[in-house]
Protein backbone atom coordinates (compact mmCIF):
# COMPACT_ATOMS: atom_id res chain seq x y z
CA UNK A 1 0.00 0.00 0.00
CA UNK A 2 1.00 3.61 -0.40
CA UNK A 3 1.82 5.41 2.83
CA UNK A 4 3.31 8.68 3.96
CA UNK A 5 6.53 8.44 5.96
CA UNK A 6 6.46 11.58 8.11
CA UNK A 7 9.11 13.36 10.17
CA UNK A 8 8.08 16.02 12.70
CA UNK A 9 9.99 18.02 15.27
CA UNK A 10 9.12 20.77 17.73
CA UNK A 11 8.25 24.20 16.26
CA UNK A 12 10.19 25.62 19.20
CA UNK A 13 13.28 23.75 18.00
CA UNK A 14 13.00 23.48 14.19
CA UNK A 15 16.05 21.33 13.60
CA UNK A 16 14.71 19.10 10.81
CA UNK A 17 17.30 19.50 8.06
CA UNK A 18 17.55 18.28 4.47
CA UNK A 19 20.28 15.89 5.65
CA UNK A 20 17.90 14.35 8.21
CA UNK A 21 15.10 14.21 5.66
CA UNK A 22 17.40 12.35 3.28
CA UNK A 23 17.17 9.36 5.61
CA UNK A 24 13.68 8.81 4.19
CA UNK A 25 15.44 7.53 1.08
CA UNK A 26 14.32 9.94 -1.59
CA UNK A 27 12.83 13.34 -2.43
CA UNK A 28 10.63 14.75 0.33
CA UNK A 29 7.70 17.14 0.45
CA UNK A 30 8.16 19.83 3.10
CA UNK A 31 4.97 20.48 5.05
CA UNK A 32 6.81 23.14 7.04
CA UNK A 33 10.55 23.75 6.49
CA UNK A 34 12.56 22.82 9.54
CA UNK A 35 9.55 21.22 11.26
CA UNK A 36 7.76 18.61 9.14
CA UNK A 37 8.27 16.70 5.92
CA UNK A 38 7.08 13.49 4.32
CA UNK A 39 7.80 11.06 1.54
CA UNK A 40 5.32 8.72 -0.10
CA UNK A 41 6.44 5.11 0.07
CA UNK A 42 5.10 1.67 -0.82
CA UNK A 43 5.02 -0.78 2.07
CA UNK A 44 3.26 -3.98 3.07
CA UNK A 45 2.80 -3.02 6.73
CA UNK A 46 2.93 0.62 7.89
CA UNK A 47 3.57 -0.46 11.47
CA UNK A 48 6.68 -2.38 10.47
CA UNK A 49 7.89 0.47 8.27
CA UNK A 50 7.33 2.91 11.13
CA UNK A 51 9.27 0.74 13.58
CA UNK A 52 12.21 0.54 11.18
CA UNK A 53 12.16 4.27 10.55
CA UNK A 54 11.98 5.07 14.26
CA UNK A 55 15.18 3.10 14.78
CA UNK A 56 16.94 5.35 12.26
CA UNK A 57 15.93 8.47 14.21
CA UNK A 58 16.11 7.13 17.76
CA UNK A 59 18.95 9.47 18.74
CA UNK A 60 17.33 12.61 17.34
CA UNK A 61 14.48 14.80 18.69
CA UNK A 62 12.26 13.80 15.78
CA UNK A 63 8.85 12.13 15.77
CA UNK A 64 8.29 9.48 13.12
CA UNK A 65 5.08 8.07 11.70
CA UNK A 66 4.04 6.01 8.71
CA UNK A 67 0.38 6.61 7.81
CA UNK A 68 -1.54 4.96 4.95
CA UNK A 69 -2.46 7.68 2.47
CA UNK A 70 -6.03 6.43 2.18
CA UNK A 71 -6.60 6.91 5.92
CA UNK A 72 -5.17 10.34 6.55
CA UNK A 73 -7.63 13.21 7.04
CA UNK A 74 -10.04 12.44 9.89
CA UNK A 75 -13.55 13.80 10.39
CA UNK A 76 -13.79 13.16 14.13
CA UNK A 77 -11.34 14.23 16.82
CA UNK A 78 -11.70 12.95 20.39
CA UNK A 79 -9.16 14.46 22.75
CA UNK A 80 -8.18 14.09 26.38
CA UNK A 81 -7.81 17.38 28.26
CA UNK A 82 -5.32 17.29 31.16
CA UNK A 83 -1.70 17.15 30.00
CA UNK A 84 -2.95 16.93 26.41
CA UNK A 85 -5.04 19.92 25.35
CA UNK A 86 -3.86 21.79 28.45
CA UNK A 87 -0.43 21.64 30.04
CA UNK A 88 -1.48 20.76 33.60
CA UNK A 89 -3.53 18.28 35.61
CA UNK A 90 -6.39 20.39 37.01
CA UNK A 91 -6.90 18.18 40.06
CA UNK A 92 -3.25 18.51 41.01
CA UNK A 93 -3.46 22.29 40.66
CA UNK A 94 -6.61 22.37 42.81
CA UNK A 95 -4.72 20.40 45.44
CA UNK A 96 -2.27 23.28 45.68
CA UNK A 97 -5.09 25.30 47.24
CA UNK A 98 -4.96 23.06 50.31
CA UNK A 99 -1.22 22.39 50.36
CA UNK A 100 -1.54 18.84 49.00
CA UNK A 101 -0.24 19.24 45.46
CA UNK A 102 2.78 16.97 45.87
CA UNK A 103 0.74 14.26 47.57
CA UNK A 104 -2.09 14.29 45.05
CA UNK A 105 0.25 14.68 42.07
CA UNK A 106 1.99 11.46 43.10
CA UNK A 107 -1.35 9.61 43.06
CA UNK A 108 -2.22 11.16 39.69
CA UNK A 109 1.10 10.06 38.22
CA UNK A 110 0.60 6.47 39.34
CA UNK A 111 -2.93 6.45 37.98
CA UNK A 112 -1.88 7.83 34.60
CA UNK A 113 0.86 5.23 34.42
CA UNK A 114 -1.74 2.51 34.92
CA UNK A 115 -0.46 1.53 38.36
CA UNK A 116 -3.72 2.44 40.15
CA UNK A 117 -7.39 1.95 39.28
CA UNK A 118 -8.55 5.25 37.79
CA UNK A 119 -11.91 5.48 39.55
CA UNK A 120 -10.50 4.59 42.96
CA UNK A 121 -7.64 7.07 42.56
CA UNK A 122 -10.02 9.81 41.43
CA UNK A 123 -12.34 9.38 44.40
CA UNK A 124 -9.39 9.31 46.80
CA UNK A 125 -7.94 12.54 45.45
CA UNK A 126 -11.25 14.38 45.34
CA UNK A 127 -11.97 13.24 48.89
CA UNK A 128 -8.89 15.11 50.06
CA UNK A 129 -10.41 18.34 48.74
CA UNK A 130 -13.52 18.15 50.92
CA UNK A 131 -14.44 21.60 52.23
CA UNK A 132 -12.50 23.53 49.60
CA UNK A 133 -14.29 26.73 48.62
CA UNK A 134 -15.66 26.54 45.07
CA UNK A 135 -13.96 29.86 44.30
CA UNK A 136 -10.76 27.81 44.13
CA UNK A 137 -11.99 26.38 40.83
CA UNK A 138 -11.97 29.81 39.20
CA UNK A 139 -8.62 30.72 40.74
CA UNK A 140 -7.11 27.51 39.43
CA UNK A 141 -8.47 28.00 35.95
CA UNK A 142 -7.47 31.66 35.74
CA UNK A 143 -3.97 31.23 37.18
CA UNK A 144 -2.88 27.68 36.35
CA UNK A 145 -4.57 26.39 33.22
CA UNK A 146 -2.69 26.99 29.98
CA UNK A 147 -3.44 25.60 26.54
CA UNK A 148 -0.86 23.29 25.03
CA UNK A 149 0.90 24.80 22.02
CA UNK A 150 -1.04 24.02 18.86
CA UNK A 151 -4.29 23.08 20.63
CA UNK A 152 -6.50 25.72 19.06
CA UNK A 153 -4.80 25.35 15.69
CA UNK A 154 -5.46 21.59 15.70
CA UNK A 155 -9.15 21.90 16.46
CA UNK A 156 -9.85 24.92 14.28
CA UNK A 157 -8.04 23.47 11.26
CA UNK A 158 -9.85 20.14 11.48
CA UNK A 159 -13.21 21.89 11.93
CA UNK A 160 -12.52 24.15 8.96
CA UNK A 161 -12.15 20.96 6.93
CA UNK A 162 -15.40 19.39 8.08
CA UNK A 163 -14.37 17.55 11.24
CA UNK A 164 -16.22 17.37 14.56
CA UNK A 165 -14.22 17.79 17.77
CA UNK A 166 -15.03 16.47 21.24
CA UNK A 167 -13.14 16.98 24.49
CA UNK A 168 -13.44 13.87 26.68
CA UNK A 169 -11.82 14.10 30.09
CA UNK A 170 -11.49 12.15 33.30
CA UNK A 171 -11.28 15.58 34.92
CA UNK A 172 -14.14 17.93 35.69
CA UNK A 173 -16.82 19.76 33.75
CA UNK A 174 -15.92 23.10 35.35
CA UNK A 175 -12.67 22.99 33.41
CA UNK A 176 -13.76 21.17 30.24
CA UNK A 177 -16.52 23.71 29.67
CA UNK A 178 -14.05 26.57 29.69
CA UNK A 179 -11.29 24.80 27.78
CA UNK A 180 -13.74 23.59 25.13
CA UNK A 181 -14.93 27.15 24.64
CA UNK A 182 -11.39 28.54 24.46
CA UNK A 183 -10.21 25.97 21.93
CA UNK A 184 -13.40 25.55 19.89
CA UNK A 185 -14.48 21.99 20.66
CA UNK A 186 -18.03 21.15 19.58
CA UNK A 187 -18.81 19.35 22.83
CA UNK A 188 -17.21 18.23 26.07
CA UNK A 189 -17.62 15.37 28.56
CA UNK A 190 -16.12 15.03 32.04
CA UNK A 191 -16.89 14.26 35.67
CA UNK A 192 -19.01 16.48 37.88
CA UNK A 193 -17.70 17.70 41.23
CA UNK A 194 -20.39 17.83 43.91
CA UNK A 195 -20.72 21.23 45.59
CA UNK A 196 -22.91 22.16 48.54
CA UNK A 197 -23.16 25.56 50.21
CA UNK A 198 -20.31 26.84 48.07
CA UNK A 199 -17.85 24.12 49.07
CA UNK A 200 -16.64 20.86 47.55
CA UNK A 201 -18.18 17.84 49.28
CA UNK A 202 -15.25 15.59 48.44
CA UNK A 203 -17.50 13.53 46.15
CA UNK A 204 -17.77 13.04 42.40
CA UNK A 205 -21.16 12.47 40.86
CA UNK A 206 -21.66 8.94 39.49
CA UNK A 207 -21.02 7.46 37.02
CA UNK A 208 -17.30 8.16 36.78
CA UNK A 209 -16.02 9.01 33.32
CA UNK A 210 -12.91 6.90 33.03
CA UNK A 211 -11.21 4.59 30.55
CA UNK A 212 -14.24 2.64 29.35
CA UNK A 213 -16.49 5.71 29.29
CA UNK A 214 -14.00 7.47 27.03
CA UNK A 215 -14.13 4.53 24.63
CA UNK A 216 -17.92 4.45 24.76
CA UNK A 217 -18.05 8.17 23.98
CA UNK A 218 -15.73 7.70 21.00
CA UNK A 219 -17.87 4.86 19.66
CA UNK A 220 -21.11 6.82 20.09
CA UNK A 221 -19.74 9.97 18.48
CA UNK A 222 -18.49 7.93 15.54
CA UNK A 223 -21.74 5.99 15.21
CA UNK A 224 -23.81 9.15 15.32
CA UNK A 225 -21.85 10.35 12.29
CA UNK A 226 -22.12 7.13 10.34
CA UNK A 227 -18.50 6.12 10.76
CA UNK A 228 -16.52 3.57 12.67
CA UNK A 229 -13.90 4.32 15.33
CA UNK A 230 -11.29 3.27 12.77
CA UNK A 231 -12.06 6.48 10.88
CA UNK A 232 -11.40 8.71 13.91
CA UNK A 233 -8.46 10.42 15.58
CA UNK A 234 -8.04 10.03 19.34
CA UNK A 235 -5.28 11.62 21.39
CA UNK A 236 -4.26 11.42 25.04
CA UNK A 237 -1.40 10.86 27.44
CA UNK A 238 -2.58 8.64 30.29
CA UNK A 239 -3.61 5.05 30.94
CA UNK A 240 -7.29 6.02 31.01
CA UNK A 241 -6.91 7.08 27.35
CA UNK A 242 -5.61 3.73 26.17
CA UNK A 243 -8.94 2.17 25.21
CA UNK A 244 -10.01 5.03 22.94
CA UNK A 245 -6.50 5.44 21.51
CA UNK A 246 -6.37 1.73 20.77
CA UNK A 247 -9.75 1.65 19.04
CA UNK A 248 -9.30 4.81 16.94
CA UNK A 249 -7.92 4.38 13.46
CA UNK A 250 -5.35 7.03 14.27
CA UNK A 251 -4.57 6.79 17.97
CA UNK A 252 -1.89 9.17 19.16
CA UNK A 253 0.07 9.15 22.41
CA UNK A 254 0.97 12.78 23.03
CA UNK A 255 3.99 13.34 25.31
CA UNK A 256 2.54 10.32 27.03
CA UNK A 257 3.24 8.00 29.93
CA UNK A 258 5.37 4.97 28.94
CA UNK A 259 2.48 2.49 28.97
CA UNK A 260 0.56 4.67 26.53
CA UNK A 261 3.49 5.49 24.28
CA UNK A 262 4.30 1.78 24.00
CA UNK A 263 0.80 0.78 22.86
CA UNK A 264 -0.38 3.70 20.71
CA UNK A 265 -0.33 3.52 16.91
CA UNK A 266 1.64 6.79 16.81
CA UNK A 267 3.56 8.66 19.48
CA UNK A 268 4.42 12.35 19.50
CA UNK A 269 7.23 13.04 21.94
CA UNK A 270 8.74 16.22 20.49
CA UNK A 271 6.18 18.09 18.39
CA UNK A 272 3.30 20.17 19.68
CA UNK A 273 -0.36 19.48 18.84
CA UNK A 274 0.05 20.74 15.28
CA UNK A 275 1.93 17.46 14.76
CA UNK A 276 -1.49 15.80 14.56
CA UNK A 277 -2.25 17.97 11.54
CA UNK A 278 0.94 16.97 9.78
CA UNK A 279 0.03 13.32 10.42
CA UNK A 280 -3.17 13.96 8.48
CA UNK A 281 -1.37 15.55 5.54
CA UNK A 282 -2.05 19.19 6.27
CA UNK A 283 0.54 21.77 5.33
CA UNK A 284 1.37 24.64 7.66
CA UNK A 285 -0.10 26.99 5.04
CA UNK A 286 -3.49 25.31 5.61
CA UNK A 287 -3.52 25.82 9.38
CA UNK A 288 -6.30 27.90 10.89
CA UNK A 289 -6.79 29.52 14.29
CA UNK A 290 -9.96 31.44 13.38
Residue 82 among the catalytic residues: yes
Residue 80 among the catalytic residues: yes
Q: Of residues 82, 92, 237, 241, which has the active-site annotation?
A: 82
Q: Of residues 80, 92, 237, 272, which has the active-site annotation?
A: 80
The Cα 272–Cα 3 span in angstroms is: 22
Q: Which residues are catalytic?
A: 80, 82
Amino acid sequence: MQAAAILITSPANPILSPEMAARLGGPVDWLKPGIACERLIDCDDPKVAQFELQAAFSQLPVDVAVIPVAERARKLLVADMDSTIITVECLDELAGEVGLKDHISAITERSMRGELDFETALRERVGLLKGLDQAALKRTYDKRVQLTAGARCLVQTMKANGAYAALVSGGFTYFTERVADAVGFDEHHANVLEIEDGKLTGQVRAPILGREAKLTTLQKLAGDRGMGPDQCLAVGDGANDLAMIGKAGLGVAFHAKPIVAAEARVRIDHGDLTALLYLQGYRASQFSTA
